[in-house]
Structure 1
Amino acid sequence: MATKQTETALSELAKPVQQQLSQYRVQQIQAVLSLLDEGNTVPFIARYRKERTGSLDEVAIRDIEDEARRLMKLNQRRQEVLKIIDEQGKLTPALRQNFARATVIQQVEDLYLPYKQKRRTKATVAREAGLTPLTEWLLTFPASGLDAKAQQFVDPTKDLPDLPAVWAGVHEILAETFSEQAAFREWIRQFTWQHGELTSKLKRGAADDDEQQVYATYYDFSQPLKQLPPYRVLAINRGEREKILTVGISVDPASILQYGHFRLVGQHQGPAVAKVTAAFADAYKRFLGPAIERELRRQLTEKADDHAIQVFGNNLYHLLMQAPLKGKVVMGFDPAYRTGCKLAIMDPNGRFLAKQVIYPHKPANAKDRAAAGPAFKQLLEKYHVEMIAIGNGTASRESEEFVSTILKTLDHPVYYVLVNEAGASVYSASANARAEFADFHVEERSAVSIGRRLQDPLAELIKIDPKAVGVGQYQHDVPEKALDAQLDRVVETAVNQVGVNVNTASPELLTHISGLTATTAKNIVAYRNENGAFAARQELKKVPRLGPKAYQQAVGFLRIIGGREPLDNTDIHPESYAAAHQLLTQLAPDGQIGTPKLQQQLAQLNQAKLADQLGVGVATLSDIIAGLSKPGRDLRDSMPAPLLRQDVLTMADLKPGMELQGTVRNVVDFGAFVDIGVKQDGLVHISQLADHYVSDPSTVVTIGDVVTVWVLSVDENRHRIQLTMRAEQHD
């Protein structure tokens, strides 16, 4: 929980945050910051404190939190710098006011630059030699007598033996002074951003290092800075890191030098003009230009990193929120050649039933290949398997053909689904997997994971590092700490939006529930194993180290199915049970919830009037009504169901114009990759996603969507399939 000092700081930031996030009212921002300081989690605030926040969702709450944290860092840095300048005796009211107007840390650093302790420079030496008065006199633009004045400063003992040495020292002081002026830096920064271009060229002698010509697009490339898409920035950065490309920012310096002349010289004339303009030109060449280029490239990279992280997070959310396949016996099928295909069967609740290894593919001998089909068919019939989840890794193509052939011989329908097995090997080798299946080989654990991914993607994928699921772009290039933080947020949002069955949830899943930690999650499972299934939410209070605050934050997201209290299988918080029971007394004295009759009655209520009677807010009442109408509801049930298959396609089967259905596997800046039932996913380029202009693919498709596509072209040699979702393009 936040300290009182932090709470006060956050309270003071409500109005500054509102200035940056004007879409929210200051009262909403104040409420969010206060609730965060009280130790509430974002999912809890979004779900159970809607009256206080005006029904802000998780995204809005995190926006407010992030802006408040940014402003806290800005204020902290501003105070640090002001203290340093004040200790130097150089803090004036005007300078303090300039710092107060700074809205980003870069502006603070620009203002601080002249006062910053720096290494010894040529300008420092010139000042120590006593050339500051001559420099200041030069800036008055005297009409004549420059050398005569400078002669007074010639002093061999100060390493100023002649006039050229004196003027060289003055030049250094001027150049450094100009480079440290915040106004110059800000103007040049904005001008470069508006008119500059990012350029890249093939580095001399690097052609052989790019054998696949991955960076061929950027061998002679330029694009205006403000038009660069994030993925292109990251691609160029990677090419530079790999020493394939030489990268820089190009901008016409004439306008910048003209600006410097206008600001420094104005209408002045005389011999001093040439010296001042020469010093500014040198300042730009040596100091300002390179510094601004570094800053802008860093800003481009940070923006591209943030975008890539957001893309990854958005894809991960939709991956986790894929519809579960409920009530089905599932076989997980982990394909392989030499070591055999590992099979694992799970009951409708994900409980492991059986495993086996078959050898349907070469280089297995003919006898083992012949035995694979009957053994596979026997397993299907013995355990009444209804669905097969085939991993999409090595040998998946051959395994799909094998499965399809067997399914055609059955007298009842069984379907298969290609499952993205990214990260399955990571989980299989983990300590958690070893603890659950100690006597299994790694590949056998993978088969279990693949099957469970089809049954409940959220519960299974939560067990692995989100970075291993392979649904991003350039995720290995972005800052790992920032990526981890964003993915943790996404996982937290997804898990809490869905809720979990506290009697079946794994410790990994429980860890992401609002208010719980790894320790309390393990304690819940340990308590459950020792005392049996929880019969009521109230029993959670007996779990060691699960205190009142943690209980308050977590309990609404933990479901108990078939317990003593029907409301425990809803997302109604126990703090609202009294109001819910009062409502049920009026409408359903038998206490039955979720019945068609009750749903009809609830739909006809005057919520505003009833909320007053029950003493709750309208938003809370609305959630109570939703919980009573559909106990055990799962947001994922409204998501697209997995695309089931019985037959298999090859790339050779694909012809331009062919209409197919596919599942979106990944969404990136330049389009979407769609699984159409062949080994290679097809690409729907951004220009082929819709009949209208699309700037962001995620506004059209998300991971898990089942879409209709048409084949544009097939390149078997390069394993590339081009698809379209534009009906008129097909026509």
Structure 2
Amino acid sequence: MLFDVSDVRKEGDVLIEQDMNNVSDEAARRERQMMIGQIAKELGLSERQVGQAAGLLDEGNTIPFIARYRKEMTGELDENSLRDIEERLSYLRSLGERKREVIRIIEEQGKLTDELRGQIVGAVKLQEVEDLYRPYRQKRKTRASVAKEKGLEPLADWIMEQRRGGNPEAEAGKYADPAKGVESVEQALQGAQDIIAESIADDAAVRSWVRQYTASQGILVSEAKDKEQESVYENYYSYREPVHKMPPHRILAINRGERENVLKVGIEVDAACIHAHITRKLIKGPSPVKELLEAVAEDAYKRLIAPSVEREVRGEMTEKGENQAISIFSGNLRSLLLQPPVKGRRVLGVDPAYRTGCKLAVVDETGKLLEVAVTYPTPPHNKKREAAEKFKELIAKYGIQLIVIGNGTGSRETEQFTAETIAEIGDPGLAYLIVNEAGASVYSASKLAQEEFPDLDVAERSAASIARRVQDPLAELVKIEPKAIGVGQYQHDVSQRHLDESLKAVVESAVNHVGVDVNTASPSLLSYVAGINSTIAKNIVKYREENGSFKNRKQLQKVPRLGAKSYEQCIGFLRIPEGENTLDHTPIHPESYDVVSRLFKELGLALSQIGSKELAPVLAAQNPEELAARLDVGVPTLRDILESLQRPGRDPREELPPPIFRTDVLKIEDLAPGMELQGTVRNVIDFGAFVDIGIKNDGLVHISQLSSSFVKHPMDVVSVGDNVTVWVLSVDLKKGRVSLTMRPPRE
């Protein structure tokens, strides 16, 4: 035998497999291109931008790295655009998987037509796919399935033929058979109607139209379950609003009231209009079964379509509310994290309380804990004299320049006491500051805090955290679970997974925007650097402790588990202020160090001039476009390099105004309409902003009072941490509420 048949079979199998792979690869490429085209259209970007971004993401690059160091490839897409692409790409890929699964299931049932396949493949939303799949989904026992088991499907088909002649009762009489469970003509007709009603309810086009009509024309109605019951939901005890006009915060408020069993909520819609639409689709013309089909249309909507469509529409409303709430929380969190650090001051942190006393913590300029103590200036103890002596002792002993008070229980009494003590001392350089202590208790009870301060109790750790929050808000706040930092609205009412993902992305963005000193950063801070996970972060700190401070960026390649890809992603965001190479203290990536060398050679400069006063104006005078062509480098990259070299070691947060320091306390009784005050924005929500003006409760600037011109959303005007000038509009002493305005009074 000249050859073995089995070898031929093997070769044939290989060729077939290769052909199948080629077909599969080609299909995958087409699907990917369709996704890229769809995303580009949705986001208003070019297909090249989306394609390059998708490719970089698929290669495992992080969004901060792509946004900063791959600008030429993406056309300078920012982090927000890249996250939008990542999110849509993930959605569309999941959608593609679901389409394939649905097609497979329907094909196995032997019911897949070319038309149905085309509809499924062309669907752009998961809801569309599920609507198309609905008739083929395995259902639990329904009235229609019971009727089919009794053999009534042919009767339903006869009715749907809508013949001009014939008698429905006479036709139904053929199926009346007690042995099959059909006791009468009426039961036979009812069973056939149930089959038709389910068919209508499963029709994708009908469901889509009803859903769209309900969303655009429906009225959300909220009523009290007990009108005598007092609650925070009284505004919604008898409330009506068009579904499409409801603002996100109101959706979530009503949802919460319903969840707490205070409100009864539903959607009212013109059922007659929907019946008419279904009837037009269903009835072909005059026939003996017309009245039967009209009844079927009404039953299909009322019993089968309306309940599920209302759930779907309310689900979409909730998703809208959640997305907005998460967006607001994310924006507020970023502003809070990027508050300017108060450097070069020794700080006395105060965690106020009543019964257990005020815990004190002194930290030096670097945040090192020097001493802790406890005093009792607040009720029920009221030991103000002893507390004042302790304050004065610590202030004198450590040269305290700033007292930082948490805004928790007893904060305003502690603030009053602090202001009186500062007045007694009479030092013009001494001031106090109220900070948001949200999350401090979460941190102080955490394993991280126990490791950091093993000899302190929970309240003492909290006082130390409060003190450090002003010295470096970012470094301290990253130790706390992001959602525990109270700068949102309805954060407990949203998808916690989505919230966690969004807030983690915000922290990551803020950390990489500022950059991290690799020789002082905690594992918590390092873990948010692009490409670094918690294990690598701990390994960096361990290597630092065992080998001393890092002298250059290359040393980080020796850290266990920090591989080539992680190094590429993280190294540009890690800083070494006192390192051997000045460039290691800049955001310039080591891959561009050669560009810097060629740049300095081109301009006749020496690298030793980096950081000097004479260098900045020389670099500022350069034309990036012309210079980039000579250096054979991308314009965006060169532009970033020039900016970094002009201000090496720059902290972008330092360009923001510092927080407002106070020396005296203000009471609500001191306020009067028209009074001008300086305040700090503590929280921004859909309907306005809360501003700390130095009284017990923050004042509210309603969205209508944020500006003399129209404001679409408060975040367009103010951010958390902003110092603002406000005027008192009204004061409610009984409720302790103050209404403020940022619109200057007329002269």
TM alignment of 1:246-395, pairs within 5 A: 246-266=264-284, 268-364=285-381, 368-395=383-410
Q: Is the 8 A contact 1:13 1:71 kept in 2?
A: no
- Compared with structure 1, are the counterparts of its residues 10 and 645 closer, same or farther at alpha carbon in structure 2 (3 Å cutoff)? farther
- Deviations 1:609-659 (CA, angstroms, capped at 9, x unpaired): 221222221101011111100011112112231111111101111111110
1:186 to 208, 214, 220: 208
Q: Is the 8 A contact 2:553 2:571 kept in 1?
A: yes
TM alignment of 1:221-620, pairs within 5 A: 221-266=239-284, 268-364=285-381, 368-408=383-423, 409-585=425-601, 586-589=603-606, 591-620=608-637
Aligned-residue RMSD, C-alpha: 1.8
The answer to which of 273-282 and 690-699 deviates more is: 690-699
Question: Quick one: distance in 1 between partners of 2:689 and 2:31?
Answer: 41
Provide the residue aligned with 1:636 in structure 2: 653
- Deviations 1:299-320 (CA, angstroms, capped at 9, x unpaired): 1111111111111111111110
Question: Quick one: distance in 2 between partners of 1:382 and 1:502?
Answer: 32
* Equivalent residue letter for 1:185: R
Provide the residue aligned with 1:86 in structure 2: 107
Q: Which secondary structure state, in structure 2, belongs to the residue aligned with residue 139 of structure 1?
A: helix
- Deviations 1:185-235 (CA, angstroms, capped at 9, x unpaired): 0111111111111111111xx345x43x31111111111010011111111
Is it true that 1:700 corresponds to 2:717 in the alignment? yes
Question: Quick one: distance in 2 between partners of 1:614 and 1:194?
Answer: 57
Q: Is the 8 A contact 1:671 1:697 kept in 2?
A: yes
Q: Is the 8 A contact 1:7 1:34 kept in 2?
A: no
The answer to which of 372-381 and 177-186 deviates more is: 372-381
TM-score, normalised with respect to structure 2: 0.94
Question: Quick one: distance in 1 between partners of 2:357 and 2:176?
Answer: 88
Question: Quick one: distance in 1 between partners of 2:108 and 2:356?
Answer: 72
Provide the residue aligned with 1:217 in structure 2: 235
TM-score, normalised with respect to structure 1: 0.96
Provide the residue aligned with 1:27 in structure 2: 48
Provide the residue aligned with 1:679 in structure 2: 696
Question: Quick one: distance in 2 between partners of 1:631 and 1:92?
Answer: 65
Question: Quick one: distance in 2 between partners of 1:622 and 1:270?
Answer: 76
Provide the residue aligned with 1:669 in structure 2: 686
Provide the residue aligned with 2:186 in structure 1: 164
C-alpha displacement at 1:433, in angstroms? 1.0
Question: Quick one: distance in 2 between partners of 1:587 and 1:518?
Answer: 44
Question: Quick one: distance in 2 between partners of 1:426 and 1:529?
Answer: 27
C-alpha displacement at 1:563, in angstroms? 1.0
- Deviations 1:333-356 (CA, angstroms, capped at 9, x unpaired): 222233222221222211222222
Q: Is the 8 A contact 1:17 1:29 kept in 2?
A: no
Q: Which secondary structure state, in structure 2, belongs to the residue aligned with residue 584 of structure 1?
A: helix
C-alpha displacement at 1:7, in angstroms? 9.7
> Where does structure 1 lack aligned partners over 5 or more consecutive residues?
none
* Equivalent residue letter for 1:105: L
Q: Which secondary structure state, in structure 2, belongs to the residue aligned with residue 512 of structure 1?
A: coil
- Compared with structure 1, are the counterparts of its residues 485 and 7 closer, same or farther at alpha carbon in structure 2 (3 Å cutoff)? farther
* Equivalent residue letter for 1:454: V
Question: Quick one: distance in 2 between partners of 1:166 and 1:589?
Answer: 96
Q: Is the 8 A contact 1:429 1:442 kept in 2?
A: yes
Equivalences, count: 720
Q: Is the 8 A contact 2:678 2:693 kept in 1?
A: yes
C-alpha displacement at 1:166, in angstroms? 1.3
Is it true that 1:102 corresponds to 2:119 in the alignment? no
Question: Quick one: distance in 2 between partners of 1:64 and 1:529?
Answer: 40
Question: Quick one: distance in 2 between partners of 1:566 and 1:84?
Answer: 62
Provide the residue aligned with 1:713 in structure 2: 730
C-alpha displacement at 1:12, in angstroms? 4.0
* Equivalent residue letter for 1:376: F
Q: Is the 8 A contact 2:37 2:47 kept in 1?
A: no
Question: Quick one: distance in 1 between partners of 2:315 and 2:398?
Answer: 58
Question: Quick one: distance in 2 between partners of 1:506 and 1:695?
Answer: 40
Question: Quick one: distance in 1 between partners of 2:609 and 2:367?
Answer: 29
Question: Quick one: distance in 2 between partners of 1:337 and 1:7?
Answer: 65
- Compared with structure 1, are the counterparts of its residues 459 and 193 closer, same or farther at alpha carbon in structure 2 (3 Å cutoff)? same
Provide the residue aligned with 1:201 in structure 2: 223
C-alpha displacement at 1:374, in angstroms? 2.6
The answer to which of 637-646 and 704-713 deviates more is: 637-646
- Compared with structure 1, are the counterparts of its residues 256 and 129 closer, same or farther at alpha carbon in structure 2 (3 Å cutoff)? same
* Equivalent residue letter for 1:176: E
Q: Is the 8 A contact 1:14 1:30 kept in 2?
A: no
Q: Is the 8 A contact 1:587 1:601 kept in 2?
A: no
- Deviations 1:686-727 (CA, angstroms, capped at 9, x unpaired): 111111222211111110000111111111221211111111
Question: Quick one: distance in 2 between partners of 1:432 and 1:441?
Answer: 13
Q: Which secondary structure state, in structure 2, belongs to the residue aligned with residue 331 of structure 1?
A: strand
Is it true that 1:174 corresponds to 2:196 in the alignment? yes
Question: Quick one: distance in 2 between partners of 1:62 and 1:604?
Answer: 35
Q: Is the 8 A contact 1:11 1:34 kept in 2?
A: no
Is it true that 1:114 corresponds to 2:135 in the alignment? yes
* Equivalent residue letter for 1:163: V
C-alpha displacement at 1:97, in angstroms? 1.1
Q: Which secondary structure state, in structure 1, belongs to the residue aligned with residue 614 of structure 2?
A: helix
Q: Is the 8 A contact 2:103 2:117 kept in 1?
A: yes
* Equivalent residue letter for 1:194: S
Q: Is the 8 A contact 1:333 1:450 kept in 2?
A: yes
Q: Which secondary structure state, in structure 1, belongs to the residue aligned with residue 355 of structure 2?
A: coil
Question: Quick one: distance in 1 between partners of 2:402 and 2:161?
Answer: 86
Q: Which secondary structure state, in structure 2, belongs to the residue aligned with residue 666 of structure 1?
A: strand
* Equivalent residue letter for 1:225: V
Q: Is the 8 A contact 1:13 1:68 kept in 2?
A: no
- Deviations 1:475-503 (CA, angstroms, capped at 9, x unpaired): 01111111101111001000000111111
- Compared with structure 1, are the counterparts of its residues 336 and 125 closer, same or farther at alpha carbon in structure 2 (3 Å cutoff)? closer
- Compared with structure 1, are the counterparts of its residues 490 and 139 closer, same or farther at alpha carbon in structure 2 (3 Å cutoff)? same
Is it true that 1:50 corresponds to 2:50 in the alignment? no
1:131 to 152, 157, 160: 152
> Where does structure 2 lack aligned partners over 5 or more consecutive residues?
1-23
Question: Quick one: distance in 2 between partners of 1:607 and 1:274?
Answer: 78
* Equivalent residue letter for 1:531: N
Question: Quick one: distance in 1 between partners of 2:320 and 2:39?
Answer: 22
